[in-house]
Amino acid sequence: MGRLAGAMTRNVTKVLLAAAGMLVFQIGTAGAPGAETYKHDESGLEKQFEPFLKAYQHGNDKGMDETFAVFRFPNPKEWFTAYFAPPDVERLLPAYETDVNDAESSLIQSMNLADPGSGFKVHCEPRGDAGGAGKPRPEEGGTQPQKEIPVEQFLMEFRSTKSGQRFRIILNFVYVDGAYRFVGGGAPLWVKHR
């Protein structure tokens, strides 16, 4: 009976250690960079902008690039392939990279014009008229997706925490893998590119 009890104790200990290891692994990966998810609403989008706005306030160029990366698709080719024909994917991928880089630069430039070096807060309002943004009508031109894309358009107001200066922009996003991904300012990029 003593050997059986000892074997059971060792097995229980192994199971508990394995469970503790799994818990530590899960806690460690939950806090990993890029693992954060954001609510699928305007407050989630506002929170997604916070690290970028903090990096701007501290004049951290590398930090701005790193934190703006959350607005990029984790795998742009895979995402575009799900919605567009192969020749369109090859044409849209470089345009996408350019548009995302230009969006970051334009936002930084707008903040510099409004109140250089200030902290900024953002307020996001969903636009009710973005229903057709995901699949433009053929007569509008642009590149036609093979199926409708769930585009969400937001009116965004950036306000300086120092002077109260503000500016507004309209941006388009799709919600993918727990975060909003930028797809164009004014209109989605595929509407503008043939």
Give me the pLDDT at residue 24, please: 32
Q: Is the pLDDT of residue 184 over 70?
A: yes
pLDDT-based confidence at 14, cuts 50/70/90? very low
Calculate mean pLDDT across residues 128-150: 69
Instruction: Give tens-digit pLDDT for 35-53.
Output: 589 999 999 999 999 999 9
In a domain, 13, yes or no: no
Least confident of 29-43, 53-67, 103-117, 138-152: 29-43
Q: How far apart are CA 194 and CA 176, in angstroms?
A: 24
pLDDT reported for residue 35 = 53
Split into its structural domains, the chain has a count of 1
Whether residue 175 is contained in a domain is answered as yes
pLDDT of residue 44: 97
Is 63 a member of any domain?
Answer: yes
- Residue 146 within a domain: yes
The backbone torsions φ and ψ at residue 48, rounded to the nearest 5 degrees and listed phi first, read -65, -30
What average pLDDT score do residues 127-156 get? 75
Please give the residue range of the domain that contains residue 81.
39-192
Percent of the chain with pLDDT over 90: 68
The position carrying tokens 């008229």 is 129
pLDDT of residue 22: 34
Q: What's the CA gap between 64 and 80, in Å, rounded?
A: 25
> What is the average pLDDT across 10-20?
38
Has residue 190 got a pLDDT over 60?
yes
Asked whether residue 30 is domain-assigned, the answer is no
* 80 located within any domain: yes
Q: Which residues contact 57 (CB under 8 A, 6 or more apart)?
A: 117, 118, 119, 120
Distances (CA, A) of 88 to 77, 103, 141, 144: 11, 22, 13, 9
Q: Which amino acid is at 27?
A: I
Q: Over the stretch 174-183, which tens digit does the pLDDT of each residue have?
A: 999 999 999 9
Whether 47 maps to a domain, the answer reads: yes
| Residue 5, domain member (yes or no) | no
